[in-house]
Structures are given as structure tokens and as C-alpha cells.
Amino acid sequence: MSFHPEMAYDATFHKSARTLAEPGEPFVYTAEHRARFDEIVTRYPADRKRSAVLPALYLVQHQQGYVTANAMRYVAGLLEMTPADVEDVVSYYTMFYTKPVGRFVLSVCRTLSCALNGAERVTEEICGALGIRPGETDASGTFTLIEVECLGACDRAPVVMVNDGWQERQRPEDVGRLLDDLRTRGEAALTGCVHVIEGGATS
């Protein structure tokens, strides 16, 4: 049971609306990503290789921007899992995308603390500024908007995660400046922490 109102749009990114991933081109890691993968796998017991599935999928997403069905099959083969097991992981976590996304993915938290502090109005402001709905990418290919559940920064609500970093205490009136700053300064414009993720990308 959810306290959220019924969504009036087709929120295809929300994980309750599971869709089949695009098959995509045949996938293999680049030499650099394969070396990174090989190193990551050594952190786990030989009979528990599947424990590396999250970083393995992050590497895929780093390489081609989203995770195709062929990439899931590739990762499944490397980790001795079934493709269905890998698809279960991809479909569970909102940070994995199964179709192309913009340069910046804006993930607005809609769980209790953020909802009570105006997250819905922030989402509406982003929609109005970009001419898109949640689950869509703007015409320039710069921004994708999604709604997600708690990001673990409830004391700084409402929170907008931008790629691997986040923007804290967002108000609707801050949205225009955030979008402009991202266009000009990139993730350096963010006020919250920016993670170092598997694959070496930082900002």
C-alpha cells in the first residue's frame, strides 16, 4: 500500500512498470572496463562471483549509457548467472536505465520527508521548465526526469539526485538556476555529495 496518489502519467521508469529492455547491439566490455571487472571479481570468493553484479552493471552503464538485454546476457555469462537473475537486479534498482537517458538524470525523491517538504512542486517545476513528464528526456537530450523513493538524505529534503551526486533542500524557485548551472558547470554545481563510483568516474 502506498500513500502516493495515483500517477496520471505513464511513468515508464518507475519499477512497478516493468518493461523488457531493448536488445541493443552485441555487448562486450572495452579492454579498460574488462580489466576493471576482472579486478572487482577478485574481491569475492570464486563461488560467489554473482556478488559483483551491481558494479558489473555500473560498468555497462558507464560504457554505453544504459543497460540493454544483450549487456545483461553478457554480464550473466561472466558471473555465471541466468539472464533473468540479472534482469531482476536491473529492474529492481532505479539507478539502472534500460533505455537512453540525457546527460543529466534528475531523480526527484518522492518519499515522505521529501513529499512533505514540497518534492511534488519541484517535479512540477522541472516538468514545466523542460517541457517533459517524469520518465522523459528533454528535446536537447540534456535532462531526463524520474521520480524515485528515499535517497537516504531525508534531513536535507527535498532531495534531487543528479547522476551520482545530489542537490539538497530544493525549492521550486531553485529549479531554473539548477538547470542553468548544470548546463554551464555540470555536476560541480551540486551542493550535496558526489560519489566515486565503480569505473573511476568522479566529479
- Whole-number Å distance between alpha carbons of 23 and 25: 7
> For residues 132 and 177, is the Cβ–Cβ distance under 8 A?
no
By CB under 6 A, is residue 148 in contact with ligand FES?
A: no
Measured torsion, CA atoms of residues 9, 57, 88, 51, in degrees rounded to the nearest 10 = -150
By CB under 6 A, is residue 95 in contact with ligand FES?
A: no
Residue 35 or residue 116: which is nearer to ligand FES going by CB?
116
Q: For ligand FES, which stretch binds (CB under 6 A), given 69-77, 129-137, 148-156, 184-192? A: 148-156
Binding residue for ligand FES, selected from 70, 91, 107, 111, defined by CB under 6 A: 111
> For residues 106 and 151, is the Cβ–Cβ distance under 8 A?
no
By CB under 6 A, is residue 109 in contact with ligand FES?
A: yes
Binding residue for ligand FES, selected from 129, 154, 194, 197, defined by CB under 6 A: 154
Other residues' Cβ atoms within 10 Å of the Cβ of residue 3: 7
By CB under 6 A, is residue 94 in contact with ligand FES?
A: no
Q: 158: cis peptide before it, omega within 30°?
A: yes
Which residues make up the interface to ligand FES (CB under 6 A)?
109, 111-114, 150-154, 157, 159
